[in-house]
Amino acid sequence: MKTFTAVTLSSLMALATTAGIAQADDDMREMKTLSEGLGLISFEEAKAKALEAKPGVIEDADLEDRDFKKGWDYEFEIVDADANEWEVYIDAKTGEVRKIEKDWF
Is 27 or 23 the better-scoring residue by pLDDT? 27
Looking at residue 56, what is its pLDDT?
97
Mean pLDDT of the chain: 80
Looking at residue 29, what is its pLDDT?
85
Residue 23, phi then psi, degrees to nearest 5: -65, -45
pLDDT at 43 over 60: yes
Res. 24 pLDDT band, cuts 50 70 90: low
pLDDT tens digits along 55-83? 999 999 999 988 766 899 999 999 999 99
Looking at residue 61, what is its pLDDT?
94
Convert 28-49 to b/e letters by CB count within 10 Å (16 or more is b): eeebeeebeeeebbebeebbeb
Share of the chain above pLDDT 70, in %: 73
What interhelical angle do 2-38 and 43-53 show, nearest 10?
A: 100
C-alpha distance from residue 59 to each of 9, 29, 71, 80 (Å):
25, 18, 23, 10
Bridge-based pairing state of the strands 97-102 and 72-79: unpaired
